[in-house]
Structure 1
């Protein structure tokens, strides 16, 4: 199912697009390629970004943004400095392994503060996203996007390609599209795609989607993070 990656296809493009392999399972497609003598018939599936050598994306980003490789502090969402890191390029929202710090409880990356070079960590609950604001929205639903309004349209939102769609509602207020999730979703970062479906079923219609401009956590987590980002971190305890 490639719908998550094709959500930005416009109605004009869909009018003349054809997918001759759309109904065929991958195994049958390989069989046909084998019968036709195609050299790629048994080529292994690619799991990495094609333009990133050996999947080391940090090296590529480091060349584009050298400042992302500068060391900084690892800070708990409650304000404690827990340690240091070799550069925020090595971390991603929702990451748990390889943090190099410990408090006795599981910690996750909940925010990357590029300006101060801080990696903010906290409990899993601090990752829970309840609403996302979208940009570059491509809407294929029956109701025109500008007519959706504050009442919104019920839908199912997929915020990661490997996760199932979850109940949600899209609203458009003052020209801004926002998607409210019935259940909190974790590990959501700006730039990810939010794709909207008519149902959670495999044959669901794609309503469209957009790229996440920003996300909103639970009020408690938002308050803690806001307080942290506006304050000076407290020093790490002496060894």
Structure 2
């Protein structure tokens, strides 16, 4: 068997075509520059996801005007081909519309996961195959190892940059084709140092913030624009049903929220513990009411060894991207559904968020699912 190159393929770099998903940020630009320097046949591809360039001056956005310009500039400076693909309609249908519907249903969606799942790692990956690429590389901070049973997903070496929560739905087939060159770096500072060494104009470019199509963070305003009349007023009630105040629309609230409830004269702080879009009620209660031990998940993507439905799995789970994994028991209730029992209760578990599974020891990502009930 031929010796493997740095991407794990049995071909010399010059004969290995790599499509690099270039968002216009420093991470994917470094990946493209690094692979180009190593002699790979690099092809950069950037997706136009929304606004047809109208977001040119927006800060904190991605995949729009300024970022497309930056990606193109990096490719031109290094001398490899670069293509921009218009995926605006696909992105709207597969990501933005579901985001709006989920909020209206009282959930707290994570559109970045859907974008990876339905656009970047599905449609873009197929484009890479059409371009006769041997693999596709991205700037995500996550690691891919070849294990005894095939490619494995592992969290990044730098836990502060780890993006495994947002990539749990990556399938085994996709994982065989994907590469993540930055996952083993010790810090983001190391990435920026590489960008400076390669002379990239984006070396000091700030990281994108919030959801790319809501760069100002005002989710409710976007929902009202997409679904006129969605922000109907209603009641704020306690867990016993007593009316405490009025609100200006369920879409303005999330599970675990404490501030901005407009309820005065309380002896103890109250938190949003449940949302009921059908009755337009925001239900509040003491902090203890946020504690959750049993979580139901659906649309499970299993990346672990063995049969997902065979018995009980001792795992660690992450119920929000900002929280560390916690010990839990995972029990399959159907091929793509499961019940998660947390060893110690978590607060503020919300439908619409992801529940990502990790090995009890080590860094391996075992998959995950979407929280439907807590």
Alignment TM-score, normalising by the size of structure 2:
0.54
1:198 to 338, 359, 362: 359
Q: What residue in structure 2 maps to residue 26 of structure 1?
A: 188
Matched, 1:7 2:168: yes
SS of residue paired to 2:177: coil
Deviant stretches of 4+, over 6 Å: none
After TM superposition, the structure 1 = structure 2 runs for residues 1-239 of structure 1, keeping only pairs within 5 Å, are: 1-24=162-185, 25-102=187-264, 103-148=266-311, 152-175=312-335, 176-199=337-360, 203-215=362-374
Partner Cα separation in structure 1 for residue 320 and residue 256 of structure 2: 12
Q: Deviations over 1:64-103 (max 9, x none)?
A: 3334311111101122111101111111000001110032
CA contact 2:309–2:334 (8 Å) conserved in 1? no
Partner Cα separation in structure 1 for residue 244 and residue 309 of structure 2: 47
By how many angstroms is 1:35 displaced? Answer: 1.9
Partner Cα separation in structure 2 for residue 69 and residue 118 of structure 1: 12
Which structure has greater helix proportion? 2
By how many angstroms is 1:117 displaced? Answer: 0.7
Alignment TM-score, normalising by the size of structure 1:
0.83
Partner Cα separation in structure 2 for residue 156 and residue 180 of structure 1: 10
SS of residue paired to 1:97: coil
By how many angstroms is 1:53 displaced? Answer: 4.0
Partner Cα separation in structure 1 for residue 229 and residue 301 of structure 2: 33
CA contact 2:239–2:285 (8 Å) conserved in 1? yes
Q: What residue in structure 1 maps to residue 15 of structure 2?
A: none
CA contact 1:68–1:114 (8 Å) conserved in 2? no
CA contact 2:309–2:331 (8 Å) conserved in 1? no
- Give the count of matched residue pairs: 210
By how many angstroms is 1:174 displaced? Answer: 4.8
Partner Cα separation in structure 2 for residue 111 and residue 63 of structure 1: 24
Unmatched 5+ stretches in structure 1? 216-239
Partner Cα separation in structure 2 for residue 58 and residue 173 of structure 1: 35
Partner Cα separation in structure 2 for residue 33 and residue 204 of structure 1: 27
SS of residue paired to 1:55: coil
Please provide the CA RMSD for this pair. Answer: 1.4
Unmatched 5+ stretches in structure 2? 1-161
Partner Cα separation in structure 1 for residue 349 and residue 287 of structure 2: 12
Q: Deviations over 1:202-226 (max 9, x none)?
A: x4211111011111xxxxxxxxxxx
